Structure 1
Amino acid sequence: MTSTARADELRSILRDRDETYERETHVRSSLSAINADAEWRALYDELKTLELELAGTPRRGFCLAYVKRKRRYCAYRARDGGTMCTLHRDLEESSDGGGDGDGGGGGGDADGAAAVCQAIERTTLASEGEATSTTLVNVTSGKKKNINRRMKKMTNPLAAPYQTPKTLDEAHWARVFGGSDALKRPLLVDIGTAKGGFIKALARERADACTRAKSIEYNLVGVEIYEPLVIAANAWVQTNRGSLKRRAHFVHCNANVSLKSLNLPNIRAICVQFPDPWSRARHVERRVMTPDFARTIADVLPSGGELYCCSDVRALAEEMYDVVAANDDFKLDEVTYKRIGEMAEPSESMPLENVPELDEAHKYEWKSLSDIKSEENVQPSSKRRWLRANPYDAHTERDIVCEGKIRPVYRFAVIRA
């Protein structure tokens, strides 16, 4: 009998057992009931072993977590610099002793992946019916997570309400961060933070990982132009204040207009992640990373301050790279590139026949800034160098979407000269 036929037979037997148990006890079957019957437990274990065998092995470069409910491996691409996707990252770090985000190279080699896969589902059922995995990579939760919800319409930053600079003072920041002494802590600012996933992660579950990666404990500020998202994010901070490891706050304004007037205290790092692409020629003025804004960032950052940018729209990432590279106040952060490593093109990191079909992030024809506005003097860089992973060891909501859609993210980091 084939494995598939035996699995079908076992499912039929187990369904009959479930129905019999419910008919006799008037209670739905459970793992506790399975544990109490040695024969039932043996049939259950045999089926789970067969389902894992029939699942095969995960595709190279994809998440190694086996999703028992779906009887297959996770369909998301492995996060940049890891062997599992962001949703299963905690399982990866638990199983490897608390990884630093530098392992695996988006899935590791084939032998390494096979070794992990062989160990994934050695599951024992505890006496009270709870499933625990000896390798901590067996996903048992049946809860579905809707990560694909997004803003349907981009906010026009040139609209009149967003042209007045927002001014904040030291008293405001002292009140936000809990006193003037707290302002001495270095500040990280995420521009265009959307729902604030990156700041929320750095404030709570990724706080210690970020501190290990950067050797800095940051205060955190998210800047977002769409006010309802800021209100919701600050409400989240208030609700979760007791569990936050870092101080966090969100501000509603247009960063291109207000970055200086916010008077951000002790700013040390600025992130511009996944900005709206505004690909068409008539919308070029709405792009975030312009030469003027690069100069503004250089003005507010101290010497050694960091700027990190990324996008899954390659043309936009390349333009941001070129705009920043054209500014003499910035130079590539070689320390971060050495620590994180550089991104390889899919065709360079694996055989061509194994390269997944990548999902395009933006369908419109791209109009470059240099083509539209020749006076900007933005020339294409001769060789762009992309980081392999996020240098702050955290993630945005968009990072998770990119993993689900098998979409690469182009990242770079510079420091203020």
Structure 2
Amino acid sequence: MSIVRVREHVNPLSKKYQVPATPPDWSTIYAKPHQPLHVDIGCGKGHFVQDMATLQGDRNFLGLEIREPLVDQANRWRDELGLSNLHYLFCNANNSIRPLLTSLPTGILQQVTIQFPDPWFKRRHQKRRVVQPELVVDLAEFLVPGGIVFVQSDVEEVAIEMRDRFDEYPAFIRQHDDWLPDNPMSISTERERSTLSTSDEPIYRALFVYAKVS
């Protein structure tokens, strides 16, 4: 597999990324478009959802990534593997998640993962972080009751912010009082494996179940 080199960080607030993504025709994207859906926000090179899609043929997977060359590369790899339950989209999740989820078949969004997002350490840059209150509201609108959101980061400040923003929304019920000791997914990301193998620093994880408020 050839490797595409891209910038490590992309400013989602720049003009280039302010136009929401146009939803595709999902019936041409997935062989079975009404299967349960897992969305990975900020999927990077896409290996995590590629591995998940390989293991779980009864579920569809959608990777969202703001760096377009990585999306093009990931879709080429998907085609080489012949995976009809996997797709990658180039978009800014903060302004595209609502139109994308609105266009999907009703009642299929069951899992969302947000893993090791760009930390944007400087205070003036923190509005660039992916987990903004509006994103939480959008996910709450489309997740099925019992659906899950899993977030993790090796940067404690970022993990706390993500955790707190989901905690603030009453319908998201955190499944552990402290940080999760282990990854509840069947697959680890490249970043997670690298961090665990080269550092003694912890990974901060939180799992939420969506309980629809009547």
Do the aligned residues in 1 keep the contact of 2:67 with 2:90 (CA within 8 Å)? Answer: yes
The percentage of aligned residue pairs carrying the same residue is 37
Identify unmatched segments of 5+ residues in structure 1: 1-148, 212-216, 338-383
2:179 aligns with 386
1:349-392 per-residue CA deviation (whole Å, 9 max, x = no partner) reads xxxxxxxxxxxxxxxxxxxxxxxxxxxxxxxxxxx521222222
Give the AA of the match of 2:27.
Answer: A
CA shift for structure 1 position 247: 1.2
Match of 2:128 among 263, 274, 286: 286
Work out the CA distance in 1 between the residues paired with 2:6 and 2:171.
Answer: 34
Structure of larger gyration radius: 1
Work out the CA distance in 1 between the residues paired with 2:119 and 2:104.
Answer: 26
2:147 aligns with 305
Instruction: Name the SS of the counterpart of 2:33 in structure 1.
Output: helix
CA shift for structure 1 position 152: 5.0
1:402 aligns with 195
CA shift for structure 1 position 302: 2.1
Match of 2:77 among 236, 240, 243: 236
Instruction: Name the SS of the counterpart of 2:16 in structure 1.
Output: helix
1:227 aligns with 68
Matches within 5 A, 1:251-400: 251-262=89-100, 263-265=103-105, 266-333=108-175, 384-400=177-193
Do the aligned residues in 2 keep the contact of 1:163 with 1:257 (CA within 8 Å)? Answer: yes
Instruction: Name the SS of the counterpart of 1:415 in structure 2.
Output: strand
Tell me: CA distance 1:392–1:405, structure 2 relative to 1, closer, same or farther (3 Å).
same
Q: Hey, which of these two has a bigger chunk of helix by percent?
A: 1
Instruction: Name the SS of the counterpart of 1:283 in structure 2.
Output: helix
1:84 aligns with none
2:36 aligns with 186
1:333-357 per-residue CA deviation (whole Å, 9 max, x = no partner) reads 4xxx5xxxxxxxxxxxxxxxxxxxx
Q: TM-score, normalised by structure 1?
A: 0.46
Give the AA of the match of 2:143.
Answer: L
Say yes or no: does 1:174 pair with 2:27.
yes
CA shift for structure 1 position 331: 0.8
Q: Hey, which of these two has a bigger chunk of strand by percent?
A: 2
1:105-158 per-residue CA deviation (whole Å, 9 max, x = no partner) reads xxxxxxxxxxxxxxxxxxxxxxxxxxxxxxxxxxxxxxxxxxxx9865300000
Work out the CA distance in 1 between the residues paired with 2:155 and 2:6.
Answer: 17
Work out the CA distance in 2 between the residues paired with 1:392 and 1:309.
Answer: 11
Identify unmatched segments of 5+ residues in structure 2: none
> Structure 1 segments of 4 or more deviating over 4 A?
149-152
Instruction: Name the SS of the counterpart of 1:317 in structure 2.
Output: helix
Matches within 5 A, 1:112-151: none
Work out the CA distance in 2 between the residues paired with 1:264 and 1:162.
Answer: 22
Instruction: Name the SS of the counterpart of 1:268 in structure 2.
Output: strand
Work out the CA distance in 2 between the residues paired with 1:288 and 1:264.
Answer: 21
Q: TM-score, normalised by structure 2?
A: 0.88
Instruction: Name the SS of the counterpart of 1:184 in structure 2.
Output: coil
State the Cα RMSD in Å.
1.9
Instruction: Name the SS of the counterpart of 1:331 in structure 2.
Output: strand
* Corresponding residue pairs, total: 203
Say yes or no: does 1:412 pair with 2:203.
no
CA shift for structure 1 position 264: 3.4
Q: Which has the higher contact order (CA 8 A, sep 6+)?
A: 2
Give the AA of the match of 2:154.
Answer: D
Instruction: Name the SS of the counterpart of 2:88 in structure 1.
Output: strand
Give the AA of the match of 1:394.
Answer: I
Tell me: CA distance 1:308–1:264, structure 2 relative to 1, closer, same or farther (3 Å).
farther
Work out the CA distance in 2 between the residues paired with 1:389 and 1:218.
Answer: 23
Matches within 5 A, 1:35-74: none
1:166-221 per-residue CA deviation (whole Å, 9 max, x = no partner) reads 1315xx1110112xxx12210000000000011111122xx15xx9xxxxx32111
Do the aligned residues in 2 keep the contact of 1:197 with 1:395 (CA within 8 Å)? Answer: no
Match of 1:218 among 43, 54, 59: 59
Work out the CA distance in 1 between the residues paired with 2:104 and 2:188.
Answer: 23
Tell me: CA distance 1:402–1:264, structure 2 relative to 1, closer, same or farther (3 Å).
farther
